[in-house]
Structures are given as structure tokens and as C-alpha cells.
Amino acid sequence: MTTEINDINVIPDYLREEYFNQILLQLFDETVKLRELQVIPQKSFGNYCSDIYRVTLKYALNDNKSKDGESAVTRAEERVLNVLVKDLFDNLTSISNEQFMYANVLLEINKTLLSCGRKQVSPTVYHAIKNNRETHFFEDLTPRGYVIRPRTTGYNEDETRLLFKRLGEYHAASLIFKEAHPGIEGEMREFYAVSDPALELFIEDHMYDNIEYVVKIIETWPGYESIIAKMRKNTREVFRSKFLPLFDRTQAKLNIVLHGDMWIANLLLKYNSKDGSAEDAVFLDYQNSSCGSPAFDIHNLFMTSVQLPVMVQSYDDIIAHYYAAFRSTLIALKYPAERIPALQCILDELRRTDYFNYYLLIFPFAQTMLGDELVKGMNFNTLHDEKRLTANRVNIYANERVLETYKYMLKAFDERGLLD
């Protein structure tokens, strides 16, 4: 067998031949011979939490010998399996729920969705390892036409509608799963800012520093004087007093198992080859999953990844579209009609958690808009590098889409009382 590793000097243990033989034996009930293994590291383009590798396996399904002792399987009969390997960084493994999600939650959710004619919402996991790190071996959906859209462009209305349809389906299956497993929230860590004091401080630091930087820009905008004053009063203590209580599950009218990190780098889209329309979506990266209000996934997707004109013009219609998918999936699964949460329940949760949008605008949305040239090679540790952070902010707040979004959303937030 030949092995090819591109651009790395040492083969990580989790990329050894033995793991890929296990995957092949798991998938096929016959003798499998691994013929060739090619590993290509994927450079970071916004995924700060893990190392990613694309792996191509060339294999044959039997190893019968011909009379002359040579293999009867010719190279023309070789098959190919494409695998994506995700290796979460050591310092994040202890707070990740991804292994739990794939082992205990997503398998059932995907089965539930398939049982009522919907598509599964996550890639198939072939193999998983959890020692000091979390390493997952997924089906690589790229050869099937699934792609991640450019972060700085954002989703148009067609793409947004499809994603919210899929999110509604996922939330419906998630509701059924949670009701069937009433103790599930006790087995998962809470939202990371609630469950980890160091990450809470990390978020506060970035919020505070971004606000200070943004305010200097806004000072040049006529009509934003009162907004500036309110932003400056949103100190660490005020932010903490407003932000952390949002995740109190006892206050939510509806609790499900959330994806927890719905943004453009974690979403794969597939497009119709004839008309170019978006026709399917799959969600990646479940390490931030937790139990809570569906409003957090909805806010996160809208605020970080949807183009501003779509938010401004079609927000209510897309929420209704999401709810229609949520309700129709529950009906298809024979969930009692009288127990299906009403649209008003979703709207109430969106209002109750509205302050989450201020956090999303100031930190996650800003981070998603960092130019590709600065994203290369970034990881979680570089988010603490003050020199690099300064360069990042200059890049982010020179982006016209960022400035237009801030101009509109800060006015909207002020009208909704989020800055008071």
C-alpha cells in the first residue's frame, strides 16, 4: 500500500492505516484491502478550534488470488472513499459536546428525520476517538457537491430559506429526542460562557475591546451620540448581568438540543446543477451543542451569516418559513398536534433572548468578517495575540458590509431597548 501525506513531516497517530482499515471493515461485510491512502491537511479559513484533514482511500472489496499468486482485483476495480478528519485542539476537548452529540444524539436525530422523508442533518461518522483529544472521521461531502460559502459574502435569500427550513426540521427532531431523553441536559455542558469561567472572561475581553474600537468609528457618524453613550455604559458587569441569564433554561418556553454554533463556516450547501439554486444543507461542528431555547440557533444564523438586506426585508417571512418546516416535520412524525409549540412561542423566545444579538454583532459577526489573508493559520491561541488582534480589527472594520450592518443594527437595537 502507498501512503502520501502532503505538507506535514510527521503523520499524526489518528491518520495511521489501522484506523482507516477499521472504517472499511465497518462499512463492508467482506474482505477489504486498503490500496492507497492520501492525506491532505486543510489550511485554516475560519475554523479556529481544530485541525482538518481530507483523506482519500483507494480500496478493493476482496483479495482473491489468481493462479499465479497475483491479486485478482485489478486497479480498474478499485473504489474510492473520501473521509474528512477533524481533530479538536487539546485545550477545548474538555468543554466539547461533539463526541457526545455524535455518539448519543445525532444518530437518533438523523434516523428520525429519515423516517419521515427528510434528509439527515449531519455527515455520517465512520469512526471516533476520544483520548486527550476528540478526533472524528466523517464522510467527506465535498465530492458530492457540498460546499461552504465565503464567510464575508453571507447568504442570499434563497440560501437563507433553505437553511432555515433545515434548521426547523432539525429542531423538530431534536424536540422529540429531548422529550424521549428527559435527563439529557444533565449529560451535556451548558453554553460555554455559562459553564467555563475562563471562556466567559475571554468573551467579555473581546466584547469590551471591540466596543472600545467600534465607538471610535461611530463617533464620526451623525445621530449616533446617544447610542455611543449607551454602548459605553454596557460595561463588563452590565454585559454579564444581561448575557448570562439568557441561558437559564427554566425561563425558556421551549427547550431542545441546540446545534450551538450556527454560522457560515459550519454549514455545507449543495446547489442544483441546472439552475444553481440551493437544494440541500448539512450542519457541521457540534462541539458547542447544548440544551436550550431554539432562539439561540436562529439568532446565530441570522446575525453572523445572512446578508443585511435579507434580514431587513425578509426576517418575519423567513421565521414563518422556519416554523412551517418545524411544525410540518412534527406532524409527519405523528407528534400530538395539540402539543406542537405555536409560532408565538418561537417569537416570544426570540424576544426574550434578543440581547444575544448584541453579543453576536460585536464579537462573532465581526470575527466572521475577517479577511481570508488574515484568517490563514489562525487558531484559538492566536485570538489572544494582542498585536494580531489589533490588525484583525483594522481589517474587519474597514469592511463596508460590517459598517453598514453596524449602522443599521445598532439603531435597531437601540429602538428595541437592548442598549439601555
Question: Is-contact 175 358, C-beta < 8 A?
Answer: no
Q: What CATH number should be reported for the domain whose range is 152-415?
A: 3.90.1200
**Residue 56: how many other CB atoms lie within 10 Å:** 16
What confidence score (pLDDT) does residue 16 get?
A: 84
Distance of alpha carbon 99 from alpha carbon 86, whole angstroms: 11
Q: Identify each DSSP E strand in 276-397 by its residue range.
A: 278-283, 291-292
User: Which residue stretches of the chain have pLDDT < 70?
Assistant: 1-11, 43-48, 63-76, 91, 377-383
For residue 46, is it left (φ>0), alpha (ψ between -120 and 50) or beta? left
What confidence score (pLDDT) does residue 94 get?
A: 72
What confidence score (pLDDT) does residue 124 get?
A: 93
List the domain boundaries for the chain: 2-88, 152-415
- State the pairing for strand pair 2-5/33-42: parallel
Distance of alpha carbon 331 from alpha carbon 341, whole angstroms: 12
Q: Give the residue ranges of DSSP H helices in 261-416.
A: 295-305, 308-332, 343-352, 356-360, 366-368, 372-375, 386-396, 400-415
pLDDT tens, residue by residue, 17-32? 888 988 998 888 777 8
Question: Is-contact 310 292, C-beta < 8 A?
Answer: no
Q: Identify each DSSP E strand in 115-173 by its residue range.
A: 125-130, 134-139, 146-147
- State the pairing for strand pair 256-257/146-147: unpaired
Distance of alpha carbon 223 from alpha carbon 200, whole angstroms: 33
**Residue 349: how many other CB atoms lie within 10 Å:** 23
What confidence score (pLDDT) does residue 129 get?
A: 83
What confidence score (pLDDT) does residue 17 get?
A: 87
Distance of alpha carbon 276 from alpha carbon 297, whole angstroms: 26
- State the pairing for strand pair 125-130/79-88: unpaired
Q: Give the residue ranges of DSSP H helices in 219-307.
A: 225-233, 236-243, 295-305
